[in-house]
Structure 1
Amino acid sequence: MAPAPTYRLLAELEVAFDRLIECTESLLEVYAASPAEAWAFQAEASTDWLRRALLDFWYTDGQDGRATRSHVGLVAADEPLLTKVAEVNAAKAEFAAQLAHIRDNHPPLLAEAKAVLPFRHPHLHDHLRGSGLARLHLKQCWRAIPVAEAPVARVRLAWYSSGRSIKRLTVREVEQKLLALDSDAPHVRIQLRKLAALPSSEPLAQVQSQAPLMRANLFYCEPLEDGRSRRAMNVALPLFLPAPRGHLPDHNLPPAAPPQSRTRARRSDEKLEEHPYLPSLRIYRYR
């Protein structure tokens, strides 16, 4: 039997998950009652499409645990619908906070949560069994729905496929990461020797290539209070746009697939050497 604090944490997480589902269902009911203009990337925009996008909380067979599926689209939203989107995002934030607390204090409980939560809503879970979608994907649960903060005159969608996440590390921090792999493995010992040859003060960079993603460039009808007239945001879920009259702003049709080669100018990350110094951790030296 689980200790009382652990049981309480799981119970609180279940409540947060229930709240997330209830808020999402409420949003979908409002949209279905008065559907406005919508557009879906490589799909037919409909209430069913929006339901699949907003309730896609599951792994597919063979899916990389770090990857998430995208559902790119645009939805014209009036005030009642925008209110529902805000409620869903608040529920997602609460769910994410509960998960973070469990991850930091009771990590083994995450596996139990993934097993228990889907069965609280059989109507979501049962019909997915035949499609290999039986495991809960926590990140797909809590990722926020994108919303424009003001009416938009036009939207330009484009693939962004040159992204790299670069984290600056010290030699000591890299050494700790290498030792955490397996200090007895030959390839790790080789890299530890290479690391030992560097000055302890030399900064290093850990690089992670990011998967291609869709980015929306929003051009507002009027400048915002802070003077901004445009904004760029990543859109993995349908983007809700304030539209009192129910019409979408002008928007383009992006290519079906991301470009095969880099289309943006090379940036400051080219200060790194061309090849990783420590391949196991994707550690690069600065030029």
Structure 2
Amino acid sequence: MEAQYRLMAELEVAFDALIDATHRLLDIYADAPREAWALETPTPDRDWLQGALFDFWYHDGQDGRVTRSYVGLIAADDALLDAVGEVNRRKSAFAATLAEIRDQAAGLIPEAKAVLPFRHPALHQHLRGQGLARLHLKQCWRHIPVADAPLSRVRLAWYSSGRSIKRLSVREAEQRLLTMDSEAPHIRIQLERLAGLPSSEPLAQVQKQAPVMRANLFFAEPLADGRERRAMNLPLPLFIPTPDARLPRHNTPLPRPPEGRTRARRSDERLEDDVFLPSLRVYRYRSR
């Protein structure tokens, strides 16, 4: 019990430090004029940035694996970059303490989601005013993106065809189905279907990924390692080092991802079109 108290106290300290560092970043952002652009608003002022950086909440019906994005570009001087770096260090410290709690006292996680907002009245009022339920911990610790060096150009585009594919054995798929209601008719049907496969056949579990904004960054000068560009996702506004408080050239993408696939099917796509085990999102590989 004493260890749990210690871990909870450490998490509270880490959360407080993250909130304080974020407020300092917002103060620096508001103190000096600089160019900024955001997909959601024509006026990416302090209030907009505060809403993006302090969006720590679950919305009704939100999938716990999904986070909301705030797409923007911000010209940053050294003071602002230092403040962003401090916020990201505090996020890392919060994530490390949270990982320790998950490993040693996972039962504290619901308590943390309920208790931490009360430590900061402004956050708590936002929580109550919006009718939001609890902290979304991943949105607390996700890092603010920063460009490695000054940029000449940024190209933004939605990436909405992503999916993760994990290989499963027949035995692993069976074990996962058995953890469900094995007496339910739809589970029995899938177990029977699985029993008709050879034990050596590999299966694929597919998880469709939420649309993300991808940024292709073109550096004003090659980096020390010779790189001239970099691609990265933008869950939060991108801070760009700049000597003159001006943004590099950039395009304006659509405000929402396009419907359907935006990329051609991969030539190496080898999964069958129809799902084999719907409860697990498992597909068979095409026979050659």
SS at match of 2:179: helix
One-letter amino acid of the structure 2 residue matched with residue 67 of structure 1: V
Q: Please say if 1:10 is aligned against 2:12.
A: no
Matches within 5 A, 1:83-98: 83-98=82-97
Q: 1:179 to 1:258 in 2, by over 3 A?
A: same
Distance of 2:20 and 2:267 partners within structure 1: 45
TM (norm. structure 1) is 0.95
One-letter amino acid of the structure 2 residue matched with residue 207 of structure 1: V
Matches within 5 A, 1:245-260: 245-260=244-259
Distance of 2:203 and 2:135 partners within structure 1: 36
Q: 1:263 to 1:142 in 2, by over 3 A?
A: same
Aligned residues: 285
Task: Please tell me whether the aligned partners of residues 125 and 134 of structure 1 are also in contact (alpha carbons under 8 angstroms).
Answer: no
One-letter amino acid of the structure 2 residue matched with residue 74 of structure 1: L
Distance of 1:125 and 1:252 partners within structure 2: 37
Task: Please tell me whether the aligned partners of residues 8 and 112 of structure 2 are also in contact (alpha carbons under 8 angstroms).
Answer: yes
Task: Please tell me whether the aligned partners of residues 151 and 242 of structure 1 are also in contact (alpha carbons under 8 angstroms).
Answer: yes
2:262 equivalent in structure 1: 263
Q: 1:274 to 1:209 in 2, by over 3 A?
A: same
Matches within 5 A, 1:233-244: 233-244=232-243
2:30 equivalent in structure 1: 32
SS at match of 1:271: coil
Task: Please tell me whether the aligned partners of residues 30 and 45 of structure 2 are also in contact (alpha carbons under 8 angstroms).
Answer: no
Alpha-carbon offset, residue 268 of structure 1: 5.3
2:129 equivalent in structure 1: 130
Q: 1:39 to 1:281 in 2, by over 3 A?
A: same
Matches within 5 A, 1:36-115: 36-43=34-41, 44-115=43-114
One-letter amino acid of the structure 2 residue matched with residue 112 of structure 1: E
Query: Which structure 2 residue ranges, 5 or more long, are not aligned?
Result: none
Question: Which string of whole-angstrom CA distances, capped at 9 and with x for unpartnered residues, describes residues 68-95 of structure 1?
Answer: 2111100001111111111111111111
Alpha-carbon offset, residue 271 of structure 1: 0.6
Distance of 1:134 and 1:48 partners within structure 2: 22
TM (norm. structure 2) is 0.94
One-letter amino acid of the structure 1 residue matched with residue 276 of structure 2: Y
Alpha-carbon offset, residue 269 of structure 1: 6.1
| Segments of 4+ moved more than 3 angstroms | none
Distance of 2:92 and 2:267 partners within structure 1: 33
Distance of 1:163 and 1:110 partners within structure 2: 30
Alpha-carbon offset, residue 8 of structure 1: 1.0
Distance of 2:58 and 2:111 partners within structure 1: 16
One-letter amino acid of the structure 1 residue matched with residue 26 of structure 2: L
Q: 1:182 to 1:35 in 2, by over 3 A?
A: farther
Q: 1:17 to 1:152 in 2, by over 3 A?
A: same
Distance of 1:127 and 1:95 partners within structure 2: 21
